[in-house]
């Protein structure tokens, strides 16, 4: 294999990988995600996906519960679905629609 081609095929992705690791390390220290070495290690050990994990965790820093429209379990329901019943969850004591009519 040509040395130049090998340098391109290995060098460019490696440079991107190391660059994303450096960005995660620098930015984690700047925004307060401590410790920055942990985020650099995650980004380095899990190529590309680790950087997106870092970005998702970083976005949680700017969460403002006062501006969250779904705070307090309020959900916007379309008027055509207002009469639908919700699926029971674990520990839910409500009767299902089929069981409600069986009380006779």
Q: Is the pLDDT of residue 28 over 70?
A: yes
Q: Is the pLDDT of residue 93 over 90?
A: no
> For residue 63, what is the DSSP state?
-
The CB-side HSE value for 28 (13 A sphere, CA atoms) comes to 23
Taking the domains of the chain in order of start, what are their residue ranges?
21-62
List pLDDT tens digits, range 37-70: 999 999 999 998 999 999 999 888 887 778 776 6
Between the alpha carbon of residue 41 and those of residues 10, 11, 13, 26, the distances in Å are 20, 20, 17, 12
């Amino acid at each position: 294999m040509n040395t130049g081609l090998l340098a391109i095929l290995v060098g460019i992705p490696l440079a991107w990988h190391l660059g994303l690791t450096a960005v995660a390390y620098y930015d984690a220290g700047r925004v307060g995600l401590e410790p920055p070495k942990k985020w650099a290690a995650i980004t380095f050990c899990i190529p590309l996906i680790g950087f997106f994990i870092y970005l998702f965790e970083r976005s949680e820093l700017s969460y403002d519960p006062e501006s969250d429209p779904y705070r307090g379990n309020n959900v916007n329901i379309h008027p055509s679905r207002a009469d639908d019943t919700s699926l029971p969850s674990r520990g839910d004591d409500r009767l299902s629609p089929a069981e409600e009519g069986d009380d006779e």
